């Protein structure tokens, strides 16, 4: 192995050393916050959600960088957890491959809160339902993001 590989691996280990197993991760996206569960070794389990126009993705395992998608991420210390560490990881990985994403009733936040507490809730959805104009803006943002993804998919196909 090259020195570059060792340095990169050591840096990744240092970056993940401070993230507790089963941590609730958040990353800001356009118009919403995306959620995931840290399962160790630099990996995150999350509900992919919208992958394109009218196409949703399953619960999957990805890297921290893949989860953050260039937006960075943070550990949410405020979520009340009924479960801890390995229990949260087991709950998250038990749903890998599930493909039943629903924006208002089974999204990435519902998934993470369920992993931590056993309740399927989304504070973002609850807030949007109390402020319908925010819901409209969020839907427009999601559709714009989906349109950009479709445009990128089409560009990749054409290339």
Question: Given this model, what pLDDT does residue 145 score?
Answer: 66
CA distances from 25 to 2, 47, 59, 134 (A): 32, 12, 15, 23
Quote the pLDDT of residue 75. 94
pLDDT of 126 reads 67
Domains of the chain: 3-158 (3.90.1720.10)
Task: Give the CA distances from residue 58 to residues 4, 99, 107, 111, in Å, rounded to whole numbers and listed in that order.
Answer: 34, 4, 10, 11
pLDDT for the residue 139:
65
Instruction: Provide the pLDDT for residue 18.
Output: 87
Structure confidence by residue, pLDDT tens digits, 64-109: 999 999 999 999 987 788 999 999 999 999 999 999 988 888 989 9
pLDDT in the model for residue 5: 42
Q: Check if the beta carbon of residue 46 is closer than 8 Å to that of residue 59.
A: yes
Cβ pair 64, 13 in contact under 8 A: no
Q: pTM of the prediction?
A: 0.72
Identify the segments of the chain with pLDDT beneath 50: 1-14, 150, 153-154
Q: How far is CA 42 from the centre of its chain?
A: 14
């Amino acid at each position: 192995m090259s020195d570059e590989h060792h340095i990169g691996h050591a840096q990744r280990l240092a970056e993940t050393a401070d993230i507790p197993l089963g941590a609730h991760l958040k990353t800001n996206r356009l118009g919403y916050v995306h959620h995931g569960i840290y399962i160790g070794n630099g990996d995150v389990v999350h509900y992919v959600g919208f992958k394109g126009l009218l196409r949703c993705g399953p619960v999957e395992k990805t890297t921290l960088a893949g989860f953050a998608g260039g937006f960075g991420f943070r550990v949410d210390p405020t979520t009340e957890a009924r479960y801890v560490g390995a229990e949260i990881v087991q709950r998250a990985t038990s749903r890998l491959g599930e493909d039943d994403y629903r924006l208002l009733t089974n999204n990435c936040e519902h998934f993470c809160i369920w992993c931590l507490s056993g309740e399927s809730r989304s504070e973002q959805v609850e807030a949007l339902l109390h402020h319908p104009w925010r819901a409209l803006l969020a839907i427009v943002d999601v559709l714009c993001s989906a349109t950009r993804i479709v445009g990128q998919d089409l560009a990749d196909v054409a290339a």
